[in-house]
Homo-oligomer: A and B are copies of this chain.
Amino acid sequence: MLSFTEENYLKALLQITMENEEKSAAGTNELAAALNVKPATATDMLKKLKDKELVDYQKYGKITLTITGRKHAIEIVRKHRLWETFLHKKLGFTWDEVHEVAEQLEHIQSQKLVDKLDELLDFPEFDPHGDIIPNAKGEIKLPFRKTLADVEAGKSCKMVAVKDNSVNFLQYVVKVGLEINHDIKVISKESYDSLLSIEVSGLVYSVSEKFAQNILVVCRFCEVGKACSKTKCEIK
């Protein structure tokens, strides 16, 4: 049985090592920062997790999850995202409210609860932020996605997810009129500061590059989740 804290370390490690394709290992400082603890604390915990064979780690070396550790981490992420979906779909929580409560709910131990929740929600694939919900077998099929910052001027795309789940960012996204499944046209890009001019539902907004890097998009004409090969695809 894992403690809440141990679960949080595993989840953080999974998130760090899944951030992008290239990176597959984490560092102590990085991990500590993600969990809001001091590096010394993370070192202590890493020793413990190593003893339990949940992480591969040695002094001054990079940190990776073992198969078992990864399985645990995925189960936690699965629960987190199912709860987020429940809060949003069944209890009317807005997408900026779900994360905080799901952080608590993800630690509830009951396989039956997870299974039944999944069923109640009709086996959802995505949570309210557009993140993939790992299935009951712990499989995650990573969908093909670009960030809004990657879209060329003049091209259009469809928003499918956000990278940043902070309340601040999510509320800002709403304010800009953006929403999952909305179409976005990139009008222009400033070469100096990469400021983007975008059109959403007929209205034009300016957004920073930082903002655009946290909006995940796909081609409007392509199937969600697959690399598109159609000639008309606007997202390469």
Let me know if A166 is at the binding interface, CB within 8 A.
Answer: no
Which residue of B97, B104, B110, B112 is within 8 Å of A108 (Cβ)? B104
A107's closest neighbor in chain B, by CB? B104
A92 to chain B, nearest CB (A): 6
A191 to chain B, nearest CB (A): 45
Are B113 and A91 in contact (CB-based, < 8 A)?
Answer: yes
**A-B contacts, 21 listed (Cβ < 8 Å):** A87-B113, A90-B120, A91-B113, A91-B116, A91-B117, A91-B120, A92-B116, A93-B112, A93-B116, A97-B112, A100-B110, A101-B108, A101-B110, A101-B112, A101-B113, A104-B107, A104-B108, A104-B109, A104-B110, A105-B105, A105-B108
A68 to chain B, nearest CB (A): 23
Interface size classification for chain A: 10 to 19
Interface 0/1 of A99-134, CB less than 8 Å to B: 011001101111011001100100000000000000
Chain B residue contacts of A91, Cβ below 8 A? 113, 116-117, 120
A105 to chain B, nearest CB (A): 6
Chain copies in the assembled complex: 2
Chain B residue contacts of A97, Cβ below 8 A? 112
- How far does the alpha carbon of A91 sit from the alpha carbon of B112 in the complex, in Å? 9
- How far does the alpha carbon of A104 sit from the alpha carbon of B87 in the complex, in Å? 17
Chain B residue contacts of A90, Cβ below 8 A? 120
- How far does the alpha carbon of A110 sit from the alpha carbon of B91 in the complex, in Å? 12
A2 to chain B, nearest CB (A): 14
- How far does the alpha carbon of A168 sit from the alpha carbon of B114 in the complex, in Å? 24
Since A87-B113, A91-B113, A91-B116 are in contact, a sample of 11 more A-B pairs with Cβ atoms closer than 8 Å, ordered by chain A residue number, is: A90-B120, A91-B117, A92-B116, A93-B112, A93-B116, A97-B112, A101-B108, A101-B112, A101-B113, A104-B107, A104-B108
A108's closest neighbor in chain B, by CB? B104
Chain B residue contacts of A104, Cβ below 8 A? 107-110
